[in-house]
Amino acid sequence: MTTTAAVNRLAYIGSVPGSKAADRDSDSWYTPQEYIEAARAAMGSIDLDPFSSVLANATVKAHQIFTIDDDSLSCDWFVKPGGACVWMNPPYSGSLVGKASDAFIRALDAGHIRRGVILVNNATDTKWFKKLRERCTAACFTDHRISFGSPDGKRVSGNTRGQCFLYFGDVEGARQFAANFNQFGWVVSSSWSF
């Protein structure tokens, strides 16, 4: 029998047969420090984390955050002239990851993002992933499943999928992205052509 704890542990990246959406808390899994520092090194800074909380930002240390109360799906992502360096690990529940991807692309098109790193599941079979990978400059497909942090500070295992980091921005940033994310998996450039 599947326990509630097991459902919650697995919910981040997949569903458990027979579980109800209401059982799943896939919105509050935090990115471990090592990946945040790699993103900061790749971009030079983290100006904005559009899907965050005060607790999550103790690790991310973004200059500005949007929380669920701000609702970044409907607010303007302008932070600084010339565009911000944006870290995004969106909520994965329901259709939120697709809506978050659309919000990121809108902000990119509006010139509000100079550089960006997104962390999502390696879901190459989804429409939202296709939209992101068509716009990114480089990507890193992890060679492991990330043990995310829970709000009580513990690392959680039990992921059923690998993840992908997508980099958006200039080529110099992409070089930095490759140098810092090589340690986590397979880095590819979207400028490869055949």
Under the rule (CB under 6 A), what is the footprint of ligand SAM? 27-31, 49, 51-53, 56, 60, 66-68, 70-73, 89, 91
| Closer CB to ligand SAM, 72 or 142, in the complex | 72
| Closer CB to ligand SAM, 139 or 146, in the complex | 146
Q: How far is the CB of 35 from ligand SAM (least distance, A)?
A: 8
| Closer CB to ligand SAM, 89 or 137, in the complex | 89
SS (H, E, C) the chain: CCCHHHHHHHCCCCCCCCCCHHHCCCCCCECCHHHHHHHHHHHCCCCEEEEECCCCHHHHCCCEEEECCCCCCCCCCCCCCCCEEEEECCCCCCCHHHHHHHHHHHHHHCCCEEEEEEEEECCCCCHHHHHHHHHCCEEEEECCCCCEECCCCCEECCCCCCEEEEEECCHHHHHHHHHHHHHHEEEEECCCCC
| Closer CB to ligand SAM, 72 or 180, in the complex | 72
Q: How far is the CB of 66 from ligand SAM (least distance, A)?
A: 5
Q: How far is the CB of 171 from ligand SAM (least distance, A)?
A: 25
